[in-house]
Amino acid sequence: MLRPYLIVKDVEPLDGGLSNRCMKVTDENGNSYVWRPNGPSTRAFGLNRADEFEVLTLASEAGFSTSPTSLVQGGLLNPWVEGNTMETPEFDVILDLLVKVHQLPKMSFHFDPFEKGAYYYSQLSPSSRDRSIADIHTYFQSHAFVTGLPLTTCHYDLGYYNVIRKPDGQISLIDWEYAALGDPAMDIVMTSLANEFDLETLVESYCQTKGIEEKSLWLEHCRRWQPVADYLGLLWYALGYELYGDELYEERKRFFQSKLQEHIRNNP
């Protein structure tokens, strides 16, 4: 599939990707790449490698990611980034990246959390759409909203596990497949969840870094997005369980299901 772009000499499956199954490939000259193929998971999660190519180009020009190598019919080929993946969340590093992402030029692809939820739900098999999940889905679709904040380019998976410290000490942010033009408050929420940061602390630091005076308003917007992030998480893990059958997905699905049922009881 990668011919004539390169002659593959070695292929190594990569661990850690929950929504895709990527590979490290090495060519005849010893150069290494990450092959991010299209497949059942990209279709199920509504991912588009062309959007990923676009934002990688923007982020590489800003100096905190690598420029993509090739966008081909079967997927996306990126350079392999040498270095060490961050093992635990580093607040200042993550905050700096979050601010930099939101300062990028605007992507062409727009992310609406409620439209994404409807798409995820449409991809579930009838057997997965039990009464509880159907009720949760209906609740959030009938409570759709926008905050009115100016839209920015967002990463939407800015976890420490996607941050690489290169041998020269520079930081590279990877795995941009969920990136899109969207509400920055939602990205703050997703970042707090991915790194287990206290949301109020992250909002306070974000606003201080960006010179935003309306900190309480931003915190209000972020708190409003929190259950929506859980709603997307529920559907995402339900889809993941269908695709891979991994009990991790089922456990996380049940966690979000229980959490959202309580939210709906308290906010009818």
C-alpha to C-alpha distances, 88 to 58, 82, 141, 142, nearest whole angstrom: 26, 18, 35, 38
Cα–Cα–Cα angle for 151, 156, 161, rounded to 5 degrees: 150
Report the relative pairing of strands 32-37 and 75-79 from DSSP bridges.
antiparallel
pTM: 0.93
Provide the β-strand partners of residue 11.
25
Which residues touch 209 (CB under 8 Å, ≥6 apart)? 95, 96, 99
pLDDT value, residue 151? 99
- The domains found in the chain, sorted by start residue, are 8-82 (3.30.200.20), 85-266 (3.90.1200.10)
Q: What is the pLDDT of residue 9?
A: 67
Which of the residues in the chain have pLDDT under 50? Answer: none
Reference 232, options 131, 127, 111; nearest CA is: 111
Q: What is the pLDDT of residue 142?
A: 98
Strands 152-154 and 84-85: what pairing? unpaired
6's CB contacts (< 8 A; 6+ apart) are 25, 27, 28, 31, 33, 77
